[in-house]
Structure 1
Amino acid sequence: MPSAHPMTALDALTHLLNFVLPALLLGGLAAGLAKLVWFRALKSVPLRRLAGWASAAATAALVGGLLLTGRDGAMLTYGAMVLACAAALGWAGWGRH
């Protein structure tokens, strides 16, 4: 039986990036689509602001889902990511500036 090798720093970084990547992609894509759909209403709001808030909210939902379910990839977590992302876009785009 082959022996397991210890996780290196590069392995840990790869795992972390693979965990967070769906939230970052969702936040960036949702922000870009929001700017396209509501281009007049969001003209004065920088894309970086929208994407940052949306990605942060989706990441928080992802971490919360991991803590609640004890595993990554639960459909409940992905649904929470979408709702958190939408709420963050609403707040960052039409809420406080």
Structure 2
Amino acid sequence: MSPFQLLDSLLNLVAPAFFIALVLALATRFLMRRRAGAPGFWTQTGINFLAGTAVMVAGLVLYGHDGMMWTYGALVIVCGTGQWLLAGGARR
């Protein structure tokens, strides 16, 4: 595998995690009021991206290849719950 193919594979592995993290942070910014003590936009995006990347890597290790629907479902659940906690949903 060439370095460019490896880079392409790695970017395709983490792309769903980045997209979900970015969309969730943007949606929270426009749909919820900002709570005192809530992290900023890029912090929320970064935390969700790291959690999503961990889920994608766990799915790769568990199933042997990426792109399984169970992994994408777990990605949405983990990132959605994390964003809810980051936005202060548990303090309501």
Match of 2:80 among 79, 83, 86: 86
- Give, in whole Å, the separation in 2 of the partners of 1:40 and 1:30: 14
Cα 1:61/1:44, change in 2 over 3 Å: closer
Cα 1:44/1:85, change in 2 over 3 Å: closer
Q: Can you list the C-alpha shifts for 1:43-75, whole angstroms capped at 9, x where unaligned?
A: 953100111111111111111111111221111
Structure that is richer in helix per residue: 2
What is the TM-score normalised by the length of structure 2? 0.83
1:64 aligns with 2:58: yes
Gaps of 5+ in 2: none
Gaps of 5+ in 1: 1-6
Deviation at 1:10, TM superposition (A): 1.6
Q: Which has the higher relative contact order, 1 or 2, with Cα contacts under 8 A spaced 6 or more apart?
A: 2
CA-based RMSD: 1.9
Identity of aligned residues (%): 31
Report matched runs for 1:1-97 at 5 Å.
Answer: 7-41=1-35, 45-94=39-88
How many residue pairs align between the two structures? 89
